Amino acid sequence: MPRCLLALVCALTLPLLRALEPTDQFDLADLENEPKMTPGHFADLFENFVFQYFDYVQPPDVFLRTRTGDCDDYAVLADHILRLRNYTTRLIRVDLAGARISHAVCYVTETKVYLDYNNRAYFKNLVHKGPRIREIAASVADSFGKNWTSATEYTYSYEEGRTHAVMTVVKTDSPDEDPDAKPASRR
C-alpha cells in the first residue's frame, strides 16, 4: 500500500478509535456515535462548558457549539445520549425553597448516580444516590445549601420542545405516599 494512501486511511480512522476529550469540539452526532460513552465519560466532556441561564432548553447543537448553557440543557442532553446507550435515565427537576429557582439533573438507574451540571468540573462529577425522587431532591438541595419544596420526574423531547411531567413528590407529604414509593413505580 503506498504511503500516501496509508496515511490517508490512518488520518480518517484514528479519530474514530479514540474517545472524545473535554477539549474537543463535538456536536450531537459525535456524542451519539461515541463508542466509549458512559455516564462518567459524558460528565467529563462538559468540564469546560460555561454556565449561562436560559428560560428554555437550547437545541443540542447550539448548546454544544457555544459550550454555554444551564442544568436543563445538560440534563436533557445526558438523558438523550445515555438512553441511546441503553441506560435507563430519569430527568428530575427540584424546586428549591426561597430561591425562586429549580435545578435539573439526570439520574442513571444502573449506576445509581445523577449527573449534575454544577459538578461537571469536579473529579467526582457523579453523585451517588438511591432511586427515590425524595433522596435525589434532598441531595440536590443540600448542594445548594437550600431546602426543597417539590421535585418532578419528567420527560423532554427535542422534537416537541416541551416537557411532560411523569410524577411529583412534595416534601411535606408522607414519604410512604410518594408516587415512587411503591415497587411497581420504581424504575
Q: What is the pLDDT of residue 8?
A: 44
pLDDT over threshold 50, residue 78:
yes
| pTM, entire model | 0.85
Question: Which amino acid, residue 99?
Answer: A
Identify which has the larger pLDDT, 11 or 141.
Answer: 141
The torsion angle over the Cα atoms of residues 63, 25, 15 and 106, rounded to 10 degrees, is -30
Of the candidate ranges 62-66, 67-71, 114-118, 126-130, the one whose mean pLDDT is the lowest: 126-130
What are the tens digits of pLDDT across the range 90-134?
A: 999 999 998 788 999 999 999 999 999 998 655 455 667 778 999
Q: What is the DSSP string of the chain?
A: --HHHHHHHHHHHHHHHSPP-TTS---HHHHHT-TT--HHHHHHTTTT-EE---SSPPPHHHHHHHTEE-HHHHHHHHHHHHHHTT--EEEEEEEETTTTEEEEEEEETTTTEEE-GGGTTSSS-EEE--S-HHHHHHHHHHHHT--EEEEEEEEEETTTTEEEEEEEEETTS-GGGSTTSSGGG--
CA distance 169 to 57: 23
Domains in the chain with CATH codes: 21-185 (3.10.620)
Rounded to a whole number, what is the distance in angstroms from the first to the last CA of the chain? 53
Q: What is the pLDDT of residue 6?
A: 45
**Do 156 and 91 meet the contact criterion of CB atoms below 8 Å apart?**
yes
Q: What is the pLDDT of residue 101?
A: 87
Q: What is the pLDDT of residue 100?
A: 82
What are the tens digits of pLDDT across the range 4-57?
A: 544 444 444 445 556 788 888 899 999 999 998 999 999 999 999 999 999 999
Q: What is the pLDDT of residue 57?
A: 97
